[in-house]
């Protein structure tokens, strides 16, 4: 119930206005967002690298309203790729296709994405296409297939475990050796297409994670930390029970630690990020920056009660 309320608020204009104008909310959001510009985000990225943790950088924004906005977002990513290369940090990038104009024109989005992938390939940087809500799953996978057909091998995609269709999607993607980030899913979806019960989501997540680990062992495509190319399997979760189950499965099935990686969000379970890296696991942290932080922030509150309590307690102290 509470999760649904917060996800609804993530798209409400009045709530956006109230939260973004609050100094307390902006301070709390800074726990989850590395800054409003890349120069502000570079310090936490370097701090992560110093602890042998890689990053994936996201310029926040989604569902642009005009072609011009999509072009501006593309230019921001082109500049981000140059900045990552010049900074010589262990980082790749993540992006949302709606920010590149997917909801306006497939052709425009494809053109913008190709520009980004071309620049990323020149810099030796990997690009992850984030997955958005269910109406955009097929268009996103179709565009991913198009980019691979065009010869781009520096691009990966995200699968959300709470969707019933994800098992089939994973099998189809693995047949093409797609590099997949597996997450649980952060959008409000109807029970007709997504598991409504957390226990079922967790069960499906673990089954899909094991399938990705098996595929990683068979493909033997390890990460290249120097160029920050991730392995085939990226296990994105803060659920320590699932993380330990994945690690145990890898040990029991002789899957090397460089054949998969754990991914987490900036500002969430830093203790777990560091302990996994210290144990020798590949760890990557999703580092978002930008002025359009409100929808991302609200989805983080919806995901974990601890995040919401952190937000509320700051208001109480204020």
Nearest to 153 by CA among 187, 182, 183, 118: 118
- Residues 6 or more apart in contact with residue 311 via CB below 8 angstroms: 25, 28, 301
Give the list of residues 6+ apart from residue 293 with CB closer than 8 angstroms, or none: 29, 32, 33, 36, 60
- Sign of the CA dihedral running 83, 98, 153, 171: positive
Where are the extended beta strands (E) located within the chain? 54-59, 91-95, 127-129, 155-160, 180-183, 233-236, 260-265, 283-289
Burial 1-33 (b: 16+ CB within 10 A, else e): eebeebbebbeeeeebeebeeeeebeebbebbb
Q: Which position among 130, 179, 284, 300 bears the catalytic label? A: 130
List of E strands, 114-198 = 127-129, 155-160, 180-183
Within the chain, what is the greatest distance between any pair of CA atoms? Answer: 54
Whether 211 is catalytic: no
CA quadruple 143, 33, 35, 122: dihedral positive or negative?
negative
Choosing from 119, 128, 179, 181, which is the catalytic residue? Answer: 181
Q: Which residues contact 41 (CB under 8 A, 6 or more apart)?
A: 34, 35, 57, 287, 289
Q: Between the CA atoms of 146, 151, 153 and 159, what dihedral angle is there, to the nearest 10 degrees?
A: 10
Classify residue 253 as exposed, middle or buried by CB count within 10 Å of its CB (0-12, 13-18, 19+): exposed
270 an active-site residue? no
Catalytic residues: 130, 181
């Amino acid at each position: 119930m509470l999760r649904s309320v917060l996800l609804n608020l993530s798209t409400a204009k009045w709530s956006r206005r109230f939260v973004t104008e609050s100094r307390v909310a902006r301070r709390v959001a800074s726990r989850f967002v590395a800054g409003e510009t890349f120069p502000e985000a570079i310090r936490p990225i370097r701090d992560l690298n110093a602890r042998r943790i890689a990053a994936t950088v996201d310029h926040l924004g989604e569902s642009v309203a005009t072609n011009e906005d999509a072009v501006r977002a593309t230019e921001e990513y082109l500049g981000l790729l140059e900045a990552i290369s010049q900074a010589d940090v262990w980082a790749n990038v993540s992006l949302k296709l709606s920010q590149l104009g997917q909801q306006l024109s497939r052709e425009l989005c494809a053109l913008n994405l190709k520009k980004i992938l071309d620049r990323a390939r020149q810099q030796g940087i990997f690009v992850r296409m984030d997955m958005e809500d269910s109406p955009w799953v097929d268009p996103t996978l179709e565009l991913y297939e198009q980019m691979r057909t065009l010869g781009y091998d520096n691009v990966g995609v995200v699968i959300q475990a709470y969707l019933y269709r994800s098992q089939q999607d994973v099998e189809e993607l693995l047949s093409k050796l797609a590099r997949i980030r597996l997450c649980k899913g952060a959008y409000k979806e109807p029970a007709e297409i997504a598991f409504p019960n957390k226990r079922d989501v967790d069960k499906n997540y673990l089954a899909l994670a094991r399938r990705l680990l098996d595929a990683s062992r068979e493909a033997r495509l390890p990460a290249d930390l120097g160029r920050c190319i991730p392995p085939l399997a990226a296990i994105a979760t803060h659920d320590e029970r699932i993380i330990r189950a994945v690690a145990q499965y890898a040990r029991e099935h002789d899957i090397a630690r460089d054949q998969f990686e754990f991914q987490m969000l900036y500002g969430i379970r830093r203790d777990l990020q560091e302990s996994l890296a210290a144990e020798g696991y590949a760890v990557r942290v999703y580092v978002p920056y930008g002025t359009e932080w409100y929808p991302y922030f609200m989805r983080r509150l919806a995901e974990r009660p601890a995040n919401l309590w952190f937000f509320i307690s700051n208001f109480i102290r204020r």
